[in-house]
Amino acid sequence: MDNKTNGPQQYVVSSSPHAHSGDTVRKIMLTVIIAMLPALAASLYFFGLNALRLVLMCCSTCILTEAISRKIMGREAAVDDFSAVVTGMLLAFNLPPTIPSWMAVVGSAFAIIIVKQVFGGLGYNPFNPALAARVMLLIACTGSMTTWTMPGGSFMSVNAATTATPLGMWKEAWSSTATAPAGFFEQYPIMDLFLGNQPGCIGEVSALALLIGGLYLIWKRCIYWQVPVFYIGTVALLAGILYAIDPETNLRPDYHILTGGLMLGAFFMATDMVTSPITKKGMAVFGIGCGLLTMIIRKWSGGYPEGVSFAILFMNALVPLINNVTKPRTFGHLKAKK
């Protein structure tokens, strides 16, 4: 009874969740952007104005296309949640430094309109928008998406001489001669790969910068450790087994980890809240699946040296199944008898 009114006390019951962490989409996206700043700084250092051009083109296009598409679809504007900025930065990180600006614009529009808004917007997309756009560009513009340059070492310029990525050089030599490329380990010392002095997409080259950002995300509880640890661990284990069997034709595990898009994919794209599992067991399964597929593609896909994008997208498609299989038993319910 209510002491003041002597009438029945009323309680307002709302739908779950009844407790809230205080996190919002805007806050989470800002945390992800902060985590990407070390990789952004590394891309600017190694690839100069080309990196800045791609980041600006991708982010501005994503913001603009999200605003326009949501207006056309009669939805409330949501550009202030910064999710479009995150998509733009991730797509830019997955592009070679010399790709034409119009391709970056097309890829950004595809990521927002086709992969994100057509499915209903943030929270409804089954695939990671940035990765799907990267794969689309890789299929449609293969030449530009597989043209690499060595880092220029200056913000104002980038070395225009084309070259192969470490993974590409190894895969080409293995495919043609079944032996390691001459002078490979001298050309790419392990410390250079760790710091970022290697050809590749602008945001994937520095393992150190990506590790700093990834650990920051784990510390801020924006991602869980299971996906990146099981992903990278699976790649390391399989690469180690292959290397132990035949070191002449298989790349060392540390080179598999520090080259290509593994670190970027493991920390920033495979951990996407929308397109990754929600259970801890599911995250482990997801990470193992990504690692297994990445190594299968890298080892046995013919001339294609990378595998991160395709592996994550394939596992994205299996997320509903993984969630269903790994969901915990409802409290108070007995396990069904077989």
Confidence band, pLDDT 50/70/90 cuts, at residue 140: very high
Average pLDDT over residues 57-70: 94
Global pTM value: 0.88
Mean pLDDT of the chain: 87
> What is the distance in angstroms between the CA of the first residue and the CA of the last residue of the chain?
50
Q: 188-223: per-residue pLDDT in tens?
A: 899 999 999 999 999 999 999 999 999 999 999 999
CA angle 106, 109, 115 (to 5 degrees): 120
Q: Using alpha carbons, select from 207, 212, 215, 213 the residue that is nearest to residue 236.
A: 207
Confidence band, pLDDT 50/70/90 cuts, at residue 158: low
Confidence band, pLDDT 50/70/90 cuts, at residue 265: very high
Average pLDDT over residues 75-104: 91
Helix boundaries (H) for the chain: 25-72, 83-93, 101-109, 129-140, 142-145, 166-177, 184-187, 190-195, 207-219, 226-245, 253-258, 262-264, 280-300, 308-326
| pLDDT value at residue 1 | 44
> Mean pLDDT lowest for which of 1-10, 123-132, 137-146, 242-251?
1-10
| pLDDT value at residue 337 | 59
Average pLDDT over residues 241-252: 88
pLDDT at 39 over 80: yes
Average pLDDT over residues 89-104: 95
Confidence band, pLDDT 50/70/90 cuts, at residue 303: confident
> Mean pLDDT lowest for which of 19-28, 86-95, 143-152?
19-28
| pLDDT value at residue 299 | 87
**Spatial contact of 304 and 261, defined as CB atoms under 8 Å apart:** no
Q: 15-29: per-residue pLDDT in tens?
A: 655 555 667 888 999
